[in-house]
Amino acid sequence: MILQALNDYYERLRADPDQEVSDFGFSYEKLSFSLVLSEHGAVIQVRDLRRFEGRRVFPRPAVVPKLPKERSGKNAPSYFMWDKSKYVLGCELDNDGKEDYYKNQFYSFAEVHHEILDANKDVGAKALLSFIDQRIFGQIPEWATKDLLSTGFIAFELDGENGFLHERQEIKDSWQIYLRENQSEVRGQCLITGKKYCPIPRSHPQMKNVHGAQSSGAALVSFNAPAFGSYGKGISNLNAPASEQAAFAYTTALNTLLASGSRRKVQIGDATVVFWTDVPVAAEDFFGLAVGGKESEDQNMTKEIEQHLRAVVKGHYPHELGKRDTAFYVLGLSPNAARLSVRFWYVGTVGTMAENIGAHYKALSLQRSFENDPEYPRPWWLLKELAPQRDSRHIPPLLAGQFVRAIVHNQLYPRTLLTTVMGRIRADKQVNYLRACIIKAYLTRNARKEIAMGLDKENTDIGYRLGRLFAIVEYIQNDAVPGANATVRDRFFGAAAATPRRIFPVILKNAQHGLAKIRKEKPGWAVTLDKSLQDILASVEPQKGFPATMPLEKQGMFVLGYYHQRQDLYTKHEDKTEE
């Protein structure tokens, strides 16, 4: 399903002339240096392929020959036509700048190239082989710079010719022959294509650019410890037979989606989310910005997205997104040790995806506190509210993935969403727009409560009423004792929400003192406040009184009532500015 879809996507990319994906047996890798060889194998020039931007270094991506399986182990064979200096020169500098020599790697480089190129009559092949034969183990040529010896991959060029050596047709042909001869000998049915008697590789290429995973790559399909194998298949990928071709295709497609700068990738919490459609449509940009967090640098784009969001929230389908029934795939990945785990997987159409996103933003919609509060808060901003110190590194793992899954599947939000946000409010006593939005969305979708955008005086929910009451009490205190060290919110907010019967009598008594003070200065205003208190209290059933405890959903209503009432208090009377 996931792998099949990725395999199909690879075929689609191959068919699209605007897209560059590598052929079977080749891969995009980042090269740092190129050695320009003379016909006799002498190094004429060392070309630095890297691009520098301030302190950051960008090696040049290029297509190079690579077997469709991962190199692993201590004495792994060399790559063909490119590799690190460890292989090319048999020497690498360690972190302290000391020279480390690698004998096996040094000879492996020669062995691999002699095996593949000995029969080749090409000038380039001859030049490379003579270069190899001229190397002496343990000796570092004078042209080898420190950078060359410590970082990055090295490729080759022929003096006076354009392009890399491995781009020469004769060398490519030799490589193809080698590929064919080096197919895996294990045969079986491929679980991606269903074809029988395919060569099954023992390992698959790895995925790069998943946030938090090892930079050298992590595997989606791997069995890297004895306990993971079954049926005597050990720790190899024979546990999951995928043909060489299909394994190459799905990894290449996924790596293309994950490539840095890809517009089909967003980072949400610890989950890296990639998405793609059957045909390229504007929906991909829309999804990226609606579910992702990063603002588009392009102002027009942002505007357009907001417009689309407005439409989908109202239940309309913006036709700019492309055909409604275009298939749409979303894959959420997160790293776990050297592996990738699938957080969620969604197959749908662009139409339902737009509907689901619309439903989510509709559930969120709430009166804003400030002009610059976002009308459509992105998941990323909401998730940050759930983390201590609003540090994205502290976003609870699992939660981010579950949250986004709830959005794309239009399912119930995870319950931890409510417990976490209430926990944060209890900890730092801040009730802001984004947090109120989260609670509102949760209560509308999961608890099926009808909640208005702004203050709803008809709402008789006890939690909501008490929240409003608390807001007024706080307002009175603030008015009577401006600049108090510890406000009633600092001291009582969490307890008032959880155990009203214990707290409210106390704070109401204090509020009466506050009112008495206000009455001396602004008698009219005191009457208004007192009346609002009475109004709200009137609906608290006298025989029951204040509830002894309130469950979490009611506490959520408490927060919303508080938020709404406070909005109301501060917006109607504009002469009173907040705090």
Partner 1 sequence: MAQGVQLRVWGDYACFTRPEMKVERVSYDVMTPSAARGILEAIYWKPAIRWVIDRIHVMKPIRFDNVRRNEVESKIPIKGATGVNAAMKDGKTPLRLNVEDSRQQRAAMVLRDVEYIIEAHFEYTNGEDKNDGKHLEMFNRRASKGQCFHRPYLGCREFAAFFEPVQGQIPESLLSGERDLGWMLYDIDYQEDMAPIFFRPIMKNGIIDCRNHKAVAK
Q: Return the residue of 42, 46, 140, 191 that touches partner 1, per CB under 8 A.
A: 191
Nearer to partner 1, 54 or 226 (CB): 226
**Taking the complex as a whole, how short is the minimal distance between the CB of residue 290 and partner 1, in angstroms?**
22
Tell me the three-class secondary structure of 475-491, residue by residue: HHHHHHCCCCCCCHHHH
**Taking the complex as a whole, how short is the minimal distance between the CB of residue 4 and partner 1, in angstroms?**
5
Rg of the chain over CA atoms, in angstroms?
32
Sorted by sequence, the CB contacts under 8 Å of residue 42 that are 6+ apart come out as 131, 134
**Taking the complex as a whole, how short is the minimal distance between the CB of residue 227 and partner 1, in angstroms?**
5
Nearest-angstrom CA–CA distance, 201 and 245 = 9
A 10 A CB-CB count for 541 gives 11
Considering only the stretches 214-222, 280-288, 317-325, 378-386, report the one whose residues sit in contact with partner 1 under the rule CB under 8 A.
214-222
| Residue 273 DSSP SS3 | strand
Reference 189, options 261, 238, 127, 122; nearest CA is 238
Relative to beta strand 153-158, strand 271-277 is: unpaired
Does the footprint of partner 1 cover residue 508 (CB under 8 A)?
no
Considering only the stretches 36-44, 236-244, 296-304, 550-558, report the one whose residues sit in contact with partner 1 under the rule CB under 8 A.
236-244
Does the footprint of partner 1 cover residue 327 (CB under 8 A)?
no
Does the footprint of partner 1 cover residue 183 (CB under 8 A)?
no
Considering only the stretches 239-247, 457-465, 530-538, 571-579, report the one whose residues sit in contact with partner 1 under the rule CB under 8 A.
239-247
Q: Return the residue of 337, 427, 484, 516 that touches partner 1, per CB under 8 A.
A: 337
**Taking the complex as a whole, how short is the minimal distance between the CB of residue 270 and partner 1, in angstroms?**
11
Q: Return the residue of 227, 372, 520, 534 that touches partner 1, per CB under 8 A.
A: 227
Angle formed by the axes of helices 350-364 and 283-291, to 10°?
30
Nearest-angstrom CA–CA distance, 325 and 312 = 16
Nearer to partner 1, 187 or 519 (CB): 187
Footprint on residues 341-370 left by partner 1 (CB under 8 A): 341-345
Q: x/- site string to partner 1, residues 382 to 411, per CB under 8 A?
A: ---------------xx--xx--x-----x
Nearer to partner 1, 301 or 338 (CB): 338
Relative to beta strand 26-37, strand 153-158 is: parallel
DSSP per-residue string spanning 170-188? HHHHHHHHHHHHT--S-EE
Does the footprint of partner 1 cover residue 273 (CB under 8 A)?
no
Q: Return the residue of 21, 93, 158, 242 that touches partner 1, per CB under 8 A.
A: 242
Nearest-angstrom CA–CA distance, 102 and 100 = 7
Does the footprint of partner 1 cover residue 547 (CB under 8 A)?
no
Burial class (CB in 10 A: 0-12, 13-18, 19+), 486: exposed
Does the footprint of partner 1 cover residue 185 (CB under 8 A)?
no
Does the footprint of partner 1 cover residue 228 (CB under 8 A)?
yes
Nearest-angstrom CA–CA distance, 395 and 381 = 11
Cα 10 from chain centroid (whole Å):
22
Considering only the stretches 208-216, 229-237, 383-391, 512-520, report the one whose residues sit in contact with partner 1 under the rule CB under 8 A.
229-237
Does the footprint of partner 1 cover residue 188 (CB under 8 A)?
yes
Q: Return the residue of 222, 251, 277, 532 that touches partner 1, per CB under 8 A.
A: 222
**Taking the complex as a whole, how short is the minimal distance between the CB of residue 398 and partner 1, in angstroms?**
6
Nearer to partner 1, 270 or 553 (CB): 270
Give Cα separations from 571 to 133, 319, 375, 392, 578 (angstroms). Answer: 82, 38, 17, 32, 9
**Taking the complex as a whole, how short is the minimal distance between the CB of residue 265 and partner 1, in angstroms?**
19
CB 222 within 8 A of CB 338: yes
Does the footprint of partner 1 cover residue 527 (CB under 8 A)?
no
CB 71 within 8 A of CB 170: no
Residue numbers at the binding site for partner 1 (CB under 8 A): 1-4, 188-189, 191-194, 220-228, 230-233, 239-242, 334, 336-337, 339-345, 397-398, 401-402, 405, 411
